[in-house]
Amino acid sequence: MQYLKIGNSLLEVILIFVTVLLITSFLIIKTKPLPINLLVRALSWFQPFCQPVFNPDELPSSFPPFEIVKSDSPYPGTLLFTNATNPFQKNVEKYNSYIIEIDKISGKVVVYYRILTKGYLFQPQPEGYSYGILEKIGVNGAGHNGTHYIATKDLKISNKFKISNLPRGTTDMHEFLRLKNGNVLMLSYRTRKADLSVKGGFANALVYDPVIVEQTSNKKIVWLWDGKDHLNIFTTTASPDVHFDVKPPLRLDYAHPNGLAICPDANLLLSMKHMDCIVKINRETGDIIWTLGGSNCKNNQFVFLDDPQNGFSHQHHVRSLPNGNLLIFDNGTLHPKPESRAIEYEIDEQSKTARLVWSYKNGQYTPAQGSVERLSNGNTLIGWGFATHPFVSEVTPEGKVVLAINLPEGQIVYRVYQGNND
């Protein structure tokens, strides 16, 4: 079947018809509230009918305008990101969601692809790209479910990944890592019952456990790490994000896994926002080797050196550098003055010290999302999540800003990636 552009009247008529049909059906049977997930699933089903646009001469009015406010010899290539309108922010102009690739020097849009729900993790792959599409909205801001796609350079899908054979588990959108053996690592939220009465909650409460899955291209799970076997619910960080009195069918999101990385020794790093920590996981046994956390973390095993914040808070997107250092996006939510920053720690696993050897901040604060990437020339690419002025910075090791791009207020960008340099 031939692709239809999202702007085509036929597709718009179909989408409007489906939306009206869904709303009418549930009004007739008086179901409250309207199950938005049914609409999200319907929209995700229509997603393949959207056609990507390469090297456009002009952009649609629904495309978020961006402004390059500084460009001073950044590392060449392109930027890959997805946009969405912040659902919690009022009185801002709304734009449609896209996956977007732009040239870093000229600002020209290389490709855009309209996303009918929400896009995640638009990142380069050897054969082209990968990206995630939201198909179901979770509860309490977690537990979203979707599909990760591998696509060629012309954005034709060559493979897709969902976590299979995991009862009560989701295919989470926070991370998608491909391994040299062809397998992929993905995150999942898995629901179970737990007694939270000792913390003022319900005896039959529902909680989300973080799960890591290694799955083959044939959808077979070959390795699984289940947080319920290694984590204590009650060591979550006290913060506005965690509510022990949550009433079913809502879930307690005590960990909120939001980043996964592979260490030089082949073990794994898992970032958990609501526990204010990063754990190193033994790939053979599944045991936690160590826990690194900020001043609010209840399980931290490290002493922080040369860090005025004494660690990170509600962090995102950890990466292990070739020298063993950790690169982290520190959201800074529970710092005395909330301010986000990109940070690099030198880790001594024997003496359990984490020395801050590099950092960058620009006065912005984002309560969620954000990313960091060390480029091959030593620069660091920073995505600022909910913050938009700028939404991306490229910074030299000396702290000089060589690229800064703004988006309209109210736009959010989950992560920013350096594209393939052809």
Concatenating the DSSP letter of every residue in 265-286 gives TS-EEEEEGGGTEEEEE-TTT-
Contact 233, 252 (CB under 8 A): yes
What does the pLDDT read at residue 69? 96
pLDDT value at position 21?
A: 53
pLDDT at 240: 87
What is the crossing angle of helices 36-46 and 9-28, to 10°? 160
Is the CB of residue 330 less than 8 Å from the CB of residue 367?
no
What integer pLDDT is reported at residue 36 of this predicted model?
82
The answer to whether 76 and 119 are in contact (CB under 8 A) is: no
* pLDDT at residue 170, rounded to an integer: 96
Kind of pairing, strands 353-360 and 303-305? parallel
The predicted pLDDT at position 167 comes to 92
Tell me how far apart the terminal alpha carbons of the chain are, to the nearest angstrom. Answer: 31
pLDDT tens per residue across all 422 residues of the chain: 233 444 445 555 555 555 555 554 544 444 444 478 888 998 999 998 899 999 999 999 999 999 999 999 999 999 999 999 998 889 999 999 999 999 999 999 999 999 999 999 999 999 999 999 999 998 877 899 999 999 999 999 999 999 988 999 999 999 999 999 999 999 999 999 999 999 999 999 999 999 999 999 888 999 999 999 999 999 999 888 899 999 999 999 999 999 999 999 999 999 999 999 999 999 999 999 999 999 999 999 999 999 999 999 999 999 999 999 999 999 999 999 999 999 999 999 999 999 999 999 999 999 999 999 999 999 999 999 999 999 999 999 999 999 999 999 999 999 999 998 65
Give which of 230, 231, 216 is closest to 163, Cα–Cα. 216
Predicted pLDDT of residue 14:
59
Phi/psi at 24 (5° precision): -60, -45
Q: How much is the pLDDT for 3?
A: 36
Rounded to whole angstroms, how far apart are CA atoms 302 and 316? 19
Residue 10 confidence (pLDDT): 55
Q: Spell out the long-range contacts of 85-90 with Cβ–Cβ below 8 A and sequence spacing 24 or more.
A: 85/410, 85/411, 85/412, 86/386, 86/410, 86/411, 86/412, 89/409, 89/410
Q: What pLDDT shows up at residue 33?
A: 42
pTM of the full structure: 0.92
Predicted pLDDT at 39: 86
Tell me if 417 sits within 8 A of 104, measured CB to CB.
no
pLDDT confidence of residue 34: 46
Q: How far is CA 11 from the centre of its chain?
A: 29
Cα three-residue angle 105-175-153, rounded to 5 degrees: 45
DSSP 339-374: --EEEEEEEETTTTEEEEEEEE--S---SS--EEEE
pLDDT of residue 399: 97
